[in-house]
Amino acid sequence: RKEVEQDPGPFNVPEGATVAFNCTYSNSASQSFFWYRQDCRKEPKLLMSVYSSGNEDGRFTAQLNRASQYISLLIRDSKLSDSATYLCVVFKAAGNKLTFGGGTRVLVKP
C-alpha cells in the first residue's frame, strides 16, 4: 500500500461549482500535512498547510481526520484558474522528509 494515496481524477468541475477530494495516509505517526498545487509542466507550489482544527484560505478549505487517517481539500466557487493537479503531502519527523501523493487532477470547465 502506498504511504500517501490520492484519487488521480480527473475531476471535471463546472465553473462556479464546489469540488472536494481526499487523500489517505498509512502512517499514523505522520505529523504535518500540506496541499500543494502543480500546474502542467510547472513546479509544485504550496497551496496551504492543514491544521488539526481545519483551516480555510479564501475559497479553499482543508480538513484533517486523524482517526481515519485522511485529509481533504474543498474548493468553493471553482474558477477556470483552479485547474491543476493537487498534491497531498505528509511529513514525518522520523526521517525528516515529506512524502507526496500522486496528485488529483482537477479540470474546471466553463
Partner 1 sequence: DVKVTQSSRYLVKRTGEKVFLECVQDMDHENMFWYRQDPGLGLRLIYFSYDVKMKEKGDIPEGYSVSREKKERFSLILESASTNQTSMYLCASSGTGGKQPQHFGDGTRLSIL
* Residues at the interface with partner 1 (CB under 8 A): 8, 31-32, 34, 42-46, 49, 87, 91, 93, 96-103
| Shortest distance in whole angstroms from residue 60 CB to partner 1 | 15
Buried b (16+ CB within 10 A) or exposed e, 42-78: eebeebbebeeeeeeeeebbbbbeeeeebbbbebeeb
21 versus 34: smaller Cβ distance to partner 1: 34
Query: Cβ of residue 46: shortest distance to partner 1, in angstroms?
Result: 4
Q: Under a CB-based contact definition with an 8 Å cutoff, are residues 44 and 36 in contact?
A: yes
Pick the closest to residue 62 from 70, 9, 17 (CA basis): 70
Strands 104-109 and 11-14 turn out to be parallel
Report the nearest approach of partner 1 to the CB of residue 28 (Å): 15
Q: Which is nearer to partner 1, 3 or 74 (by Cβ)?
A: 3
Nearer to partner 1, 16 or 42 (CB): 42
